[in-house]
Chain A
Amino acid sequence: MNYYIVTSEVFDTLTKENIAFMHKSMDASKRVVITSDIVSNNLSSFANVAALSQYTVDNTSEWVGDGAGIPEWVLEEIIYIPGIDD
Chain B
Amino acid sequence: MSVISKISGLAIGSVNKVSALAKTSIAKIITVVNQLFVDDNAVAKSITTGTGQAVYISDSNGSYRVDHNDAFSVSFWIKVGWNVSVNATCHLFASADVGAAGANADVFRVWYYEPHNRIYAEWRSGSSEKKHNFWFFHSNSSSNNNSSVAFAAAGLGTTFWNSSNRGNANSDGYTLITVTRGTTNSAASSNLNLYWNDATCGIGFYASGGGSGTPNMGNSTDKQIAIGSNSWNFSDCGNNDETKYNGVTVWDKKLTSSEVTELYNSGTPMNIENHSAYANCTGWWNFEDTNGTNEISGGPDFDQINGNSNIEAK
- A23 CA to B49 CA in the complex, in Å? 22
Within 8 A of B (CB), among A19-64: 23-24, 26, 63-64
Name A65's contact: one of B88, B136, B138, B139 (CB within 8 Å): B88
- A38 CA to B147 CA in the complex, in Å? 32
Name B86's contact: one of A65, A74, A78, A81 (CB within 8 Å): A65
Q: At the interface, yes or no: A66 with Cβ under 8 Å from chain B?
A: yes
Q: Kindly list chain A residues whose C-beta atoms are within 8 Å of the C-beta of B89.
A: 71, 74
- A77 CA to B87 CA in the complex, in Å? 16
Q: At the interface, yes or no: B103 with Cβ under 8 Å from chain A?
A: yes
Interface of chain B: mostly helix, strand, loop or mixed: loop
Q: At the interface, yes or no: B253 with Cβ under 8 Å from chain A?
A: no
Q: Kindly list chain B residues whose C-beta atoms are within 8 Å of the C-beta of A71.
A: 89
Counted as pairs of residues, one from A and one from B, with CB atoms less than 8 Å apart, the total is 55
Bin chain A's interface residue count. Answer: 10 to 19
Within 8 A of A (CB), among B88-134: 88-90, 103, 113, 115-116, 127, 132
* Cβ-defined contact, B103 with A65, below 8 A: no
* Cβ-defined contact, A24 with B139, below 8 A: no
Most buried by B among A23, A24, A26, A68: A68
**Which of A's residues lie within 8 Å of B, judged by CB?**
23-24, 26, 63-68, 70-71, 73-74, 77-78, 81, 84-85
**Which of B's residues lie within 8 Å of A, judged by CB?**
47, 49, 82-83, 85-90, 103, 113, 115-116, 127, 132, 136, 138-139, 144, 147, 205, 235-240
